[in-house]
């Protein structure tokens, strides 16, 4: 785990007071701080971007091993993408925040996605913002096609990654098997057929 870092980069954000109020209004308002905490679960958010599909679940396992994090919910849009093609894995976790006189659990939304997923989601968001949410059907169809292309790219890169890992394992095994002779301070590799012959004789 220490030799390989699955995280490419991270991005954090805090909802603005205006955004929090808009969400409260959409959900019927709130009369107390407890209502706000119960209604708005994504005041804080972290987006983690990684290289490969398998890295996403690897990061989830890493977070589960954190004793100070409490998992509240998991939304897996990798296994069940949204109709528009959106893919990501969303976690809602509670993180302890230490005050001067007490400890509070604060809800944090964690989004984990690949570089390809993040690229698509970023452009899709900009297009929706430009059209104020009313995107023409033709563009919606092309966005869905682009999401499918990004998904195919992720799958292809995952296959390539596995092939590279297999090649590394084979090369490592070959290096461990290689026997060398030292003659007059010079090192010579023992040919594989000769090594097998010696093993058979022994």
Tell me which residues are annotated as active site.
109
Can you tell me whether residue 122 is helix, strand or coil?
A: helix
Per-residue burial over 10-34, b = 16 or more CB atoms within 10 Å of its CB, e = otherwise: eeeeebeeeebeebeeeeeebeeee
Token pair for 146: 């682009």
CA distances from 145 to 51, 63, 88, 181 (A): 21, 32, 17, 59
Please give the Cα distance from 189 to 181 (Å, whole number): 6
Can you tell me whether residue 202 is helix, strand or coil?
A: coil
Token pair for 92: 């809602």
Can you tell me whether residue 134 is helix, strand or coil?
A: coil
DSSP 42: -
């Amino acid at each position: 785990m220490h030799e390989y870092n699955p995280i490419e980069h991270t991005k954090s954000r805090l909802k603005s007071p205006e955004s929090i109020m808009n969400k409260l209004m959409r959900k019927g308002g709130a009369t107390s701080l407890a209502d706000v905490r119960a209604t708005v679960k994504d005041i804080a958010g972290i987006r983690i971007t990684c290289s490969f599909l398998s890295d996403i679940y690897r990061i989830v396992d890493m977070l589960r091993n954190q004793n100070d994090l409490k998992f509240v919910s998991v939304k897996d849009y990798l296994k069940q993408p949204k109709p528009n093609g959106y893919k990501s894995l969303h976690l809602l976790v509670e993180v302890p925040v230490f005050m001067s006189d007490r400890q509070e659990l604060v809800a944090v939304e964690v989004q984990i996605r690949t570089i390809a997923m993040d690229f698509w989601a970023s452009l899709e968001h900009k297009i929706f913002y430009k059209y104020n949410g009313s995107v023409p059907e033709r563009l919606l169809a092309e966005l869905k096609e682009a999401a499918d292309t990004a998904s195919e790219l992720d799958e292809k890169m995952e296959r390539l990654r596995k092939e590279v890992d297999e090649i590394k394992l084979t090369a490592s095994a070959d290096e461990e098997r290689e026997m060398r002779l030292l003659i007059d301070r010079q090192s010579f590799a023992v040919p594989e057929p000769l090594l097998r012959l010696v093993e058979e004789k022994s």
